[in-house]
Structure 1
Amino acid sequence: MKTSIYGAALAVLISSPVLAGDLVAPVTEQPVIAAEQPVFQTWTGGYIGGNISYGFGSLDANDDLASLLTTNGFSDNLSEPNGVSGALRAGYDWQFGRGLFGLGAEYNFGSYDGDGEGILAGSGVDVEIQDMATIFARGGYLVKDNFLAYGLLGYSQAEGEVSLGGDRDSEDLDGVTIGFGGEYMFTENWTGYAEYSYTDFGDVDNTDGQLEANLQQIKFGVNYRF
């Protein structure tokens, strides 16, 4: 009796898949590795920084004076002040998804100088645009998490000075500034940017609308964000 029971048990074991040669490997569950998520940089916060700029402006005759000059074969351009200058900048940005809105201010502590042009060529006249201050709003889009493309709209004031020999005359200049640029985030705290801006000062004060001025600037700068 026992022999038959043992024999039956042995037959069952021998015929089972594990001992019969038809082995089935146990299924091992592989650990699920989550895809690495990109780190989304945040641009919300304040910043302070500075830039180096190349500026090129124009002082032009306007209205009756421009007509008089062109009638007599002269250009209405009287000077083209230009040069390299530096500025300090500070502001605050708010990020909304991939959009950005910011407010800022900039003070350019240098000047752009130019000799007389056209009818003033060789006269010894020197023209300067200096001490320019700008407040601005900007809006942008994060093309990448660490790269912002933006446009800006602002209001600027500067001092325009004309000198001849020992005589100097200065007038306030003010007008609308528009521009566009790109800003790249190198680290959590440091960014670098390149920017172009155009300022239309319009009519120069106390010239009865006979003179007008403008200024273009190309800027390269860095910001410390906190």
Structure 2
Amino acid sequence: MKKILLVTASMIALGAVAPASAADLAPQPYTKAPPYVAPTPIYNWTGFYIGGHVGGAFGGNDNVLAPGFGGGNDGVFMGGVQAGYDYQFAPNWVMGLEANYSFLDTSSSFANRGLGSVTGRLGYTWGPALLYVKGGYAWADTRFSNGFGGDGGRDGYTVGAGLEYMFTQNWSGKLEYQYYDFGTVNVSDSLGFIGSFRNDQHTIKAGLNYRFNLGGPAVARY
């Protein structure tokens, strides 16, 4: 009987001590889970690229060296190649350097038959899209004959703008306008000077580039 009483008394004492010990413990802090943020893709424009383009070339109002001048339509088909390098920084700006050459579809004995350029470009990118402007040196592959001469036929300048879209890690497509100005060309015959005109050209083209992406593939930011 005494053993039973001792066991009962011990259990009662333990029951009284346990709640007091639990009360001395500090409450567990509550941490709210951060809200879910969907990953934002980052497209990398840094690296070398090569590509090709097709489009149309249109001479200025009085440019008799335009491929289609005098034929009822001063626009002709053009196609060519381009290569360059881009560098992305800050982090949505892209600057680069590009070399470009376009063949013009003409059989004229004196028209511009090709247009080349070396340009710098600066653009702003948001995701896979890049809006840019460009400008630099231009060169015309021109047949000087039939009384045409002067220093306005081959070297000049070019400016333009375009939109490029990166639809995979290594491939991008673009739409671009580019203006070429080669200065004034003099016209003369055996008797001397006849007149002059502006040798300028407008081009609109669609292009496709393969990008080597030296900076690595596109990644996701969380």
Change (3 A) 1:7 1:48: closer
Cα contact 1:177–1:197 (8 A) shared by 2: yes
- RMSD, aligned CA: 3.6
Cα contact 2:83–2:99 (8 A) shared by 1: yes
State the 1:4 CA deviation.
Answer: 3.9
Deviations 1:186-209 (A, max 9, x none): 111100000011112220156566
Alignment partner of 2:123 out of 131, 134, 140: 140
Deviations 1:50-95 (A, max 9, x none): 111111113628xxxxxxxxxxxxxxxx746311110100011111
Return the alpha-carbon distance in structure 2 between the equivalents of residues 35 and 133 of structure 1.
Answer: 47
- After superposition, residues 22-171 of structure 1 pair within 5 angstroms as 35-58=37-60, 60=62, 79=70, 81-96=74-89, 97-111=91-105, 128-142=111-125, 144-161=126-143
Change (3 A) 1:191 1:43: same
TM-score between the two structures when normalised by the length of structure 1: 0.67
Return the alpha-carbon distance in structure 2 between the equivalents of residues 103 and 206 of structure 1.
Answer: 35
How many residues are treated as equivalent by the alignment?
A: 186
Alignment partner of 2:9 out of 5, 9, 12: 5
1:193 and 2:174 correspond? yes
Return the alpha-carbon distance in structure 2 between the equivalents of residues 11 and 93 of structure 1.
Answer: 76
> Runs of 5+ in structure 1 lacking a partner?
17-25, 62-77, 115-125
Cα contact 1:81–1:129 (8 A) shared by 2: no
TM-score between the two structures when normalised by the length of structure 2: 0.68
The sequence identity of aligned pairs, in percent, is 33
State the 1:8 CA deviation.
Answer: 2.0
Return the alpha-carbon distance in structure 1 between the equivalents of residues 142 and 148 of structure 2.
Answer: 5
Cα contact 1:83–1:113 (8 A) shared by 2: no
| Greater RCO, 1 or 2 (C-alpha within 8 Å, sep 6+) | 2
Could you say what secondary structure the match of 1:187 adopts?
coil
Change (3 A) 1:113 1:54: farther
State the 1:2 CA deviation.
Answer: 2.2
Change (3 A) 1:160 1:3: closer
